[in-house]
Amino acid sequence: NAGVTQTPKFQVLKTGQSMTLQCAQDMNHNSMYWYRQDPGMGLRLIYYSASEGTTDKGEVPNGYNVSRLNKREFSLRLESAAPSQTSVYFCASRIGVRSAEAFFGQGTRLTVV
Amino acid sequence: KNEVEQSPQNLTAQEGEFITINCSYSVGISALHWLQQHPGGGIVSLFMLSSGKKKHGRLIATINIQEKHSSLHITASHPRDSAVYICAVHYNNDMRFGAGTRLTVKP
């Protein structure tokens, strides 16, 4: 069972470059999420999609855009990377937005130099 | 102030010891998650609970809704339990996460 698949696993970018992180789930979940994890802090929500066709900002959306391509896929785009975006990024999915177990991807370690 | 506070931040134990990790939260929640993150980064769900107690193997999770507190216990700890344990609460349409407890179990 694949669950939540995130690509790439590692990436190094130069300041100002752009990239897209890909996420796909095969559990027929409605809700998908992008989080970033920084040392000493809990995961923080960047954007989420409660259902196909909708996206909403989370706690730290600045510098990011998202696309819910279909029910399976939710991508995160950095248009002009900054060193402050150096982090580990996690995609997650849940059946719905309320009280449902979350399933996480393996994470993407992004370094912006 | 973070809505979810975990203690301790770091914990070192000898193999076989009983481990307790605590989580306190300050918001009204509908459920609470305990997650495990191994070196290498992947996050897996251990428990989701909204009341009482759940047990899975050597792991036990409890929650006291009135006191806004949850604990994760590991009995007969083993080096393979070494990981970061994360408490997360379901709040509105989102989840809020503690900063994690890094557990090291020495043989």
Tally A–B CB contacts below 8 A.
Answer: 56
> For residue B81, which phi and psi values (nearest 5 degrees)?
-80, -10
Residue-level pLDDT at A99:
62
Write the pLDDT tens digit of every residue in A58-103.
999 999 999 998 999 999 999 999 999 999 999 999 987 666 788 9
Q: Choose the closest CB to B30 out of A42, A99, A102.
A: A99
B39 to chain A, any CB pair closer than 8 A? The answer is no
> For residue B80, which phi and psi values (nearest 5 degrees)?
-70, -10
Q: Render each residue's pLDDT in chain B as its tens digit; 107 residues.
A: 678 999 999 999 999 999 999 999 998 888 999 999 988 778 999 999 999 999 999 999 999 999 999 999 999 999 999 999 999 998 877 789 999 999 999 99
Predicted confidence (pLDDT) at residue A52 exceeds the cutoff of 80: yes
Please list, in sequence order, all residues whose beta carbon lies within 8 angstroms of the beta carbon of residue B46, skipping any fewer than 6 positions away: B33, B34, B35, B36, B56, B59, B61, B72, B85
Predicted confidence (pLDDT) at residue A2 exceeds the cutoff of 90: no
Residue-level pLDDT at B28:
83
Q: Tell me the shortest Cα–Cα distance from A82 to chain B, in angstroms.
A: 23
**Chain A residue with minimum CA distance to B3:** A42
Contact between B104 and B19 under an 8 Å Cβ cutoff? The reply is: no
Residues of A in contact with B88 (CB under 8 A): 42-43, 102
Spatial CA neighbour of A3 closest among B45, B75, B104, B2: B45
The residue whose two tokens read 């449902």 is A100
